[in-house]
Chains A and B, each alone.
Chain A
Amino acid sequence: MATHLLPSDLLYAYAAGHCAPAMRLLISTQMQLCDETARRVEELEALGGALLERVEPTAMSEGALETVLARLDASPAETSGSTAANDDDVEAFPAPLREAAREALKTASWRFAGPGIRTLTLPVDGHAKAELLRIQPGSGAPRHGHKGAEITLVVRGAFRDETGVYGAGDVSVASPDVEHRPIAEPGETCYALAVTDAPLAFTGALGWIQRAVQA
């Protein structure tokens, strides 16, 4: 099944805070590339805000306000992160992804994964994995989901796979039983963020991705 937008269930999980870190990275990045995704997530965050107003308040400990007021003065000014950038393309990414890529590049580099293809594993906690793909126009490689689906967000450029063409901000959801083979379109280098083992990242009454993938 192909979709250029994510199913609502994933956005619910993100907005509510039940997402695995790898998927959070993908969605927060997509929000910066795709107005529709940002709108949908913001609706749900507005729900979070309204529900917060209805939560039963629990008294803070005595002196809590004074403790925090004392910390206000001691609190350091907001500093921007270090700009140890060694990859110009990464610097142009949306902020959440840029930070993750910078972090990865401190200890790792882009690895050869086939002609015209390099990958960079991003450090994320938890079960699901996040990998940056850099694919030259015309190049591509088969990718297999192992235990579950692979969800790929195009960050720059575009790729074509068996289900269509995906540009910046689009996501391709690939089910595990179909060989997913993205090939970069002519033009600029294609950068994409691939999150794997996605189905294991979600649960709850608000649904999960596996069904969407097998639909």
Chain B
Amino acid sequence: MTPSAKAKPTEVVDREAMADLVEAIAARQDKSAFAELFEYYAPRVKGYLLRLGAADASAEEIAQDVMLTVWRKAGTFDRTQASVSTWLFRIARNRRIDLLRRESRAPLDPEEPMLQPAAEPQPDDALSASEREVRVREAVLELPPEQAELLHMAFFDGKSHREIAEASGVALGTVKSRLRLAFVKLRRALGEDL
């Protein structure tokens, strides 16, 4: 899976700077701050929507709507609770549900093994929201590209194991074990028992 020559190289975004930009919008309707956010996030939100199968025109329109929502709701962003990326992901996810009205109805596959039991409630010294953000992000950044792509397909696209195997040409068993591994890494990063 080689990156296209036209795509920007993966930038490691400065999350503090992004949070400053959103706060600038909330505080004084700062349009140049908005333009910076737009430049980084709009193409990624569009990329996310295209993954979900939206046509180019819809993805474009929804991505613009999401950025408009960022402007309108900048006052609700709380940097102690989530990163801008997480906050924006929520907005994009909710818009996608509203506008694409996607509801999975694939037949249930008895081979799906990704069942997790309900987690034990975490002790009082559980991570703060910002620590959690940092750890999750590091864990995701460390994933090799093919594992990140698997997570994109499972988490973002909602593909079943079988669909992922077909789309990627990877054996079904390998898909399952790699996904399991990715989640194990995530749980470890969060300091949770497995």
Do A47 and B132 form a contact, CB below 8 Å, given A58-B50, A58-B59, A212-B115? no
Give the Cβ gap from B89 to chain A, nearest Cβ, in Å.
4
Give the Cβ gap from B88 to chain A, nearest Cβ, in Å.
7
Do A56 and B108 form a contact, CB below 8 Å, given A12-B155, A49-B85, A204-B160? no
- Interface 1/0s, chain A 40-52, versus B by CB < 8 A? 1011011111111
The answer for the CA separation of A20 and B84 in the assembled complex, in Å, is 26
B24 on interface, CB distance cutoff 8 Å: no
B93 with A16: CB separation less than 8 A? yes
- Interface 1/0s, chain A 55-72, versus B by CB < 8 A? 111111100110111011
The answer for the CA separation of A8 and B114 in the assembled complex, in Å, is 10
- Selected contact of B179 from candidates A3, A40, A205, CB within 8 Å: A205
B80 on interface, CB distance cutoff 8 Å: no
Interface of chain B, main secondary structure: helix
Give the Cβ gap from A21 to chain B, nearest Cβ, in Å.
8
B-side interface size class: 35 or more
Residues of A within 8 A of B103 (CB): 20-21, 125-127, 201
Residues of B within 8 A of A45 (CB): 82, 86, 89-90
B73 with A78: CB separation less than 8 A? yes
**Interfacial residues of chain A within 1-25, with CB under 8 A of chain B in the complex:** 3, 5-9, 12-13, 15-21, 24
Report A's interface with B, CB cutoff 8 A. Answer: 3, 5-9, 12-13, 15-21, 24, 36, 39-40, 42-43, 45-61, 64-65, 67-69, 71-72, 75, 78, 125-127, 199-208, 210-212
Report B's interface with A, CB cutoff 8 A. Answer: 3-4, 6-8, 10, 13, 29, 31, 34-35, 38-39, 41-48, 50-51, 59-60, 63-64, 67-68, 71-73, 81-90, 92-94, 96-97, 101-106, 108, 112-119, 121-122, 126, 129, 132-133, 136-137, 139-141, 148, 151-156, 158-161, 163-164, 175-176, 179, 186, 190
